[in-house]
Amino acid sequence: MTDEELRNLISQTLTCRIDQRENCNEKMTKFLKRCFYHSGQYNNVDDFLKLDSKLIKEEEGRLSNRLFYLSIPPNLFVDVAKCASTKASSKTGWTRVIVEKPFGRDLESSKQLSTSLKQYLTEDQIFRIDHYLGKEIVENLIVLRFSNLVFEPLWSRNYIRNVQFIFSEDFGTEGRGGYFDNYGIIRDIMQNHLLQTLALFAMETPISLDAEDIRNEKVKVLRSMRPLQLEDVIVGQYKGFSKDGKTYQGYTDDPTVPKDSITPTFAAAALFINNARWDGVPFLMKAGKALNKRRAEIRVQFRHVPGNLYKRSFGTDLDKATNELVLRIQPNEAIYLKINNKVPGLGMRLDRSDLNLLYKAKYRKEIPDAYERLLLDAIGGEQRLFIRSDELDAAWPLFTPLLKELEEKRISPELYPYGSRGPVGAHYLAAKHNVRWGDLNEDDS
Ligand code: BG6
């Protein structure tokens, strides 16, 4: 590509949507002028030396900071980190490297990756991205918890019956089968996006909002968790489905996926935190591809009201009368609390209603994309929303034995039709822990 071709490519999607205050075109032109294309091999030191010379020329003696963003196959991380650090580091400012997941496939490979990267970079130069941490509602989770008096006193086994972390996509792995088949949904979504959200949800109050203080608390909660056992998990895989004359391909119909693949595209799991705050509370996770909806949310189900005066009004199903707090990460960001309410009128009928903070109704500003926030943080040297290596050391042991067992025993996933609500096994798993999935009762969109 020439510089011009690269600039054209970028300009097709470049916007000033977050900061529209003034001179958008001028800003874009100025920005595009500073974009250059340099081609080279990932592991070729000469190519990186040439990159260095080119950068020095453009920097014209000014203070220079360099941020390398490695959105590349994981087996190349170390080569690039080595070449970038030894041959193309900034001489006058900082050099940082953003690394995309996967950070290994299990505890051993993750540790190996950390050790190899640390040969060339210090921990504060490494920015491990989990883009869920950059999502608005996930960012707001600790604001909600720690800046409101009403939530924190309820945030424990005393009042919370169970917590659910739900991720679903209404499309399959189309085009990404090659990558996905080597990882599966547990590594792709649960071990990182859902677990990170869980850690923020369940951690103790940090000493301050500094990156190290928050990450210390996240590590503590991860280390208090019980590694997953086979009986805590169910796995599924989507199969082809035809509806209204349209055919949706199953996972193994993808030409990049082996026909006999047992890689899960769906999983549900029950996790437990062995500490004073959360002892005995099931933290349920559910993640799947090719389901009926695209959504990500956290659902907090509270306990029943003891000696409830209105018990008779709810019939036999007390679950329907318990408060539930929902943090909808996407689509349509919202935080709502389900409460019981008297239906206005002379009689005494009760009704369920939502106290609803729907972002698009309350805030007119467009919400930044997770990556916009995270890239800006990396440029600013803010590590709060990035993963520290000891978080990985604490997270992988929770999943590694289970993943090994699933693979060694070649446990067959339960098949579910493309576009369905997923395998029924997820209901049995929840029922075993006295839980009902909150997302199945309602249409919240
Ligand atoms: C990625 C996963 O990390 O997150 C993908 O590798 C998944 O499989 C994606 O589709 C979901 O991100 P988002 O922001 O669209 O919910």
Q: Kindly state the average pLDDT of the residues 400-421.
A: 97
Residue 278 lies inside a defined structural domain of this protein: yes
Q: Which atom in ligand 1 lies closest to the alpha carbon of residue 130?
A: 3
Q: Which atom in ligand 1 lies closest to the alpha carbon of residue 169?
A: 10
Spatial contact of 299 and 163, defined as CB atoms under 8 Å apart: yes
Compute the distance from residue 61 Cα to the ligand 1 centre, in Å.
Answer: 40
| Burial classification of residue 139, based on how many CB atoms lie within 10 Å of its CB (0-12 exposed, 13-18 middle, 19 or more buried) | middle
Compute the distance from residue 306 Cα to the ligand 1 centre, in Å.
Answer: 41
Compute the distance from residue 297 Cα to the ligand 1 centre, in Å.
Answer: 14
Compute the distance from residue 346 Cα to the ligand 1 centre, in Å.
Answer: 50
CA 59 – CA 22 distance, rounded (Å): 26
Residue 9 lies inside a defined structural domain of this protein: no
Quote the pLDDT of residue 373. 93
Last residue of a domain, one of 130, 163, 178: 130
Q: Which atom in ligand 1 lies closest to the alpha carbon of residue 176?
A: 8
Same domain, 54 and 163: no
Bridge partners of residue 271, in order along the sequence: 283
Atom 5 in ligand 1: residue holding the nearest Cα: 188
- The two tokens of residue 93 are 């400012």
Kindly state the DSSP code that residue 100 receives in the 8-state scheme. P
Last residue of a domain, one of 104, 130, 156: 130
CA 244 – CA 241 distance, rounded (Å): 10
Q: Given pLDDT bands bounded at 50, 70 and 90, which one contains residue 262?
A: very high
- The two tokens of residue 19 are 């900061």
Atom 6 in ligand 1: residue holding the nearest Cα: 188
Best residue for ligand 1 mutational test, from 165, 176, 183, 188 (most atoms within 8 Å of Cβ): 188
pTM, to two decimals: 0.94
How many domains does the structure of the chain reveal? 2
For tokens 């805030």, the residue is 363
Spatial contact of 44 and 4, defined as CB atoms under 8 Å apart: no
CA 441 – CA 445 distance, rounded (Å): 13
Assess whether pLDDT exceeds 50 at residue 210: yes
Same domain, 392 and 424: yes
Q: Report the CATH number at residue 330.
A: 3.30.360.10
Q: What domain range includes position 116?
A: 38-130
Quote the pLDDT of residue 312. 77
Residue 1 lies inside a defined structural domain of this protein: no
Atom 2 in ligand 1: residue holding the nearest Cα: 188
Compute the distance from residue 43 Cα to the ligand 1 centre, in Å.
Answer: 28
Same domain, 59 and 155: no
Which of 95-109, 129-143, 312-326 has the lowest average pLDDT? 312-326
Which of 20-29, 52-61, 108-117, 183-192 has the lowest average pLDDT? 20-29
Spatial contact of 267 and 234, defined as CB atoms under 8 Å apart: yes
Q: Given pLDDT bands bounded at 50, 70 and 90, which one contains residue 244?
A: confident
> Would you name the residues annotated as active-site residues?
193
CA 394 – CA 380 distance, rounded (Å): 27
Assess whether pLDDT exceeds 80 at residue 342: yes
Assess whether pLDDT exceeds 90 at residue 185: yes
Best residue for ligand 1 mutational test, from 135, 166, 169 (most atoms within 8 Å of Cβ): 169
Average pLDDT value over all residues in the chain? 93
Q: Is 188 in the pocket of ligand 1 (CB under 6 A)?
A: yes
- Is the four-CA dihedral 154, 156, 157, 160 of positive or negative sign? positive
Best residue for ligand 1 mutational test, from 100, 105, 131 (most atoms within 8 Å of Cβ): 131
Same domain, 190 and 124: no
Assess whether pLDDT exceeds 60 at residue 444: no
Q: Kindly state the average pLDDT of the residues 407-432.
A: 97
Same domain, 102 and 234: no
Quote the pLDDT of residue 181. 95
- Strand, helix or coil for residue 288: strand
Q: Which atom in ligand 1 lies closest to the alpha carbon of residue 179?
A: 6
Q: Could you report the per-residue pLDDT of 72-85, keeping only the tens digit for each? A: 888 999 999 999 99
Same domain, 286 and 157: yes
Spatial contact of 233 and 243, defined as CB atoms under 8 Å apart: no
CA 55 – CA 195 distance, rounded (Å): 39
